[in-house]
Structure 1
Amino acid sequence: MAPSLRTVARRMGLRPLAGSLDPVVRWVAVSELEDPTPFLEGSELLLTTGMRLTGNFSPYVARLVERGVAGLGFGVGLTHDTVPSELVAAATTAGLPLLEVPRETPFIAIGKVVSELLAAEQYEEITRAFAAQGRLTRAALRPEGMNAVIDRLAKEVDGWAALLDETGGVRHATPGARAEDVAADLSPDADGRFPASLAISGPEGQVVVQPLGGGARPRGFFAVGAAHAFSPVTHTVINAAGSLLTLAVERGNAYLEAERRVRAAVLELLLAGAVEQARAILGPLGGGLPEEPVAVLAAAPDALDLLEPHAFTATTAAGLTVAVTAAEAAGRVAAHAGAAGLSGPCSYGELRGALDQARRAFQASDGGLVRFADLAGQGLLALLDPAAAQAFSAAALAPLSRYGSRADLVGSLRAYLASNGHWDAAAQRLGIHRHTLRYRMKRVAELLGRDLDDPGVRAELWIALEASR
């Protein structure tokens, strides 16, 4: 904080004549003008000998008060042997601090003292900032890591601090934190950009919110607040904390990505049947594989973060999130995934087939959990890849689709197969004579080059017809 008028007066032996000595002095100005205010910014100690001041001092004093000067120092022994009583009266009435400067005290000496006091203040602020940065750095090295930095930051600013995730959710907060109050402001703009920082001032004090992470999308945020306004030193401390938290976030992300690559390799070993090698690699990471029987859960890529705390989780080359869990715990693990597909119980030797089951069940999911066993009641088509089934259908039925007759051979074939080859029932369904249907089926057999009495041919054609819907 800048030196007070009282400190300057005591250091220089200036005699107070009017007003309070509490105002701070941010500079010293010397002027003999009748109106020096155009050349002042406020908070200066103005020094004058009063050589141009005579008569009514009230307008002069009023201008200084309006400008916000810290005080007026009146040098005696040159123009005036003593400070004019009229000036003392005007300063007293207006509340302007007035000091008598002895003849033997040069104005420049007062300027030097104030300059030294300001320099000492700045040095003290820098020292405090460095000391605070050291304490924050030591906190960052503690096992609690980012949480310890948040706790230390709250003490440094004499307020509160909170660590938030990328959605504004509170990960850690000190007592009295108002993190929820600022979470609503942490939203991207129309271009998807998040605010570089937020500064909120109000009756309850000041709050600063800064993003964490070096990318376009923040990895999280931290908020810090206090009942008082933050000084420049405090802002320096807050920025230092932000740098430490950002480094911790980026370092944690690098470790996490490396660990995920290892788990992806372990999954490949498991699918290849190298279970013991997979266990040996996974052991140093502090994780393990569940005991058999296991089940496989397949989910979208964004489910990775949700499933990692609950099961061995990895990402396939196709981007699918895969979790391997004990079969008896599969339902509880799946509750964290949202849309997902779940295989039946299996051994590690059957893991590849279980992954295929989970993938097929996930493809049939409409937002919830689908078990592979549930697909049995949805027909054979539920087990087929939709794109592959439609391609098969188009190729199988192409000769009928290209047939130039007005007869609907595809519809006739569907009715014939739906009636299990019963001519009368199929003809009645179509509203035609059975002999007409016989002719159409003969034409279908010729165009397809297939025997419609063969059960296998009928099954393939029925699948093709259903896939074409």
Structure 2
Amino acid sequence: MKPGVSMIGCAGMYLDRALFKRRQPSRVGNQLVQHIQKPLRICGSDPNAALSDVMYPTIAEILEIPSVARGLPRVRSGRAALDTRIRWVHVNEQQNPAGSLSGGELILSIGVPASDPTTNLVEYISMLKSAGAAGLMIEIGQHVQALPQALVQHARAISFPLIELRQSVRFIDVTEAVHGIILNQHYARLKFTERVAQVFRGLAVSGATVEQVVTEAAALLTLPVVLEDLGHRALCIAGGNPEEVLRDWMSRSRQTPGVTSGDGPRGWEVAPIGRRHNRWGRLIVAARKTGDERVAMVLAHASDTLTLLRLANSRNATPTQDAQEKILADLFRSPQIPGESLLTRARALGLNPSAAYGVLMLATCPQDAEHLMSSISAATHRLGLAAVVGRVTNDHLAVIMPNVATDGNDQQSLERIVAALPPEFVRAVGCAQSANLNGVPDALVEAAYISDVVNAGLCLSTRRVWRYGDIGIRGLLWNLRSDSRLLSFADEQLAPVLRKESGDDRKMLLKSLRAYIDSNGVIATFAKHLDLSRQTAYARAGKLSRVLGKDLTDPVCRLDLHVALIALDLIERDVRGVVS
């Protein structure tokens, strides 16, 4: 008998029993633990279910442990099963070990049963496998000089891992090393579980955004995570190169049907989002299933958090609408030629890259933006127009519509959309045209520019929708509104009026001058605008001419004054903006 074998066996059996009891708590203890640690079950998935099978070391990994490697291990059979995971190692010298095993053990032996002539070696190997043993490791030396051929042949016949140690090792070192690995992995996994729970609990309590939840999930897994809706439109991505991950996304995503991880030829990990009977999307790790149960756990927690945040969201906007708003804002802020990653995101969200787009930009008050977005969505739905709506700045709402032109028959559609909106919410509307998705950023900027010019009060008309060609010189003056030369010109032209000491005189003269310019110098029209008699109108026009020192019948003179008045309006608008 090898010295210390009985003590080693007792120690191994003791630790085996302790670990077994730890894995099999009492029924009362189980219920208490389940009650305390019971996870959220909104989506019908258990975030901790992935931890039911802790990542135990494989037989192949155990063979590389220094305390085992010193024994010069040699695999005699079952090489294909070396990836079997070991729940613990157990020293056992019984001919019939069935009663002392619970499954998943790697049996350590100094060869007592194998060297005993009364042992039926075929039955011995069969009983080990039937009892759930994962493999048998025998030390060659004091009790057995070589493994019996019958033992090796039957182990090979049933693909049972059989390893011989050609040098003496201390079994206590082996059990300590393996059990240390198991306990360390238990602890690491529990710490990871605690960290995941804390992260997503904090996100739920703080009312985090969808982007924050997806970003945290990707950071925990160091893998790309995509949020999509039920139409397979990618709403958000984190943790990867969008150009690569989202390439041909809708087509690839449809190859992973349903809500079960590993379905389809791509083997992606997925988690449904929303209540069981009200799903609205999926979280996807777009990588072939690797067997890492942490992925399923993180996705389940992230899914539950997104479901809670959606239920607690006071806005009526859906996650799809939020994603569309974000892509519009990013397109608006992008350079002239948007980056490929931005266009890839847009395509993955369902925007056709080759379609022509009609673009509307509506200027509004920040507090009215939510109501106006709802009204736009309702109007486009009634007209049967596909539209993407979103806020691109605090006081600008953008609408892009595929296959809608801003002239011809489609112009009437745009007019009907704007006509259906509450007029008190709309300050100005600019429109532009893009030949394809690449041109949408420029079209958004152009439409915003037009709406700003109109919103400045420079375009007095009953027109509802304005194009670039409609704003003319007003647009030029808007661009030059901060130019000192324009400011000096306006002050020079209007100085005799603006320097009047009496405020009433200034207001009367400016009102009269605006009416005269709008009337294009026609006295009959001028008189009608101010509700004056023709004789009084002539007298008023003469007074204007004397005060300004200009011949108002001269068209060039009227043009100078008209430009100066528009510049004055711009100056006063900027001053009001600063004061407010």
User: Which fold has the larger relative contact order, with Cα–Cα distance below 8 Å and residues 6 or more apart in sequence?
Assistant: 2
Q: Which has the larger radius of gyration?
A: 1
Q: TM over 0.5: same fold?
A: no
Q: Tell me which interval the TM-score lies in, with the shorter structure as reference length.
A: 0.3 to 0.5
Give the TM-score taking structure 2 as reference length: 0.37
Give the TM-score taking structure 1 as reference length: 0.45
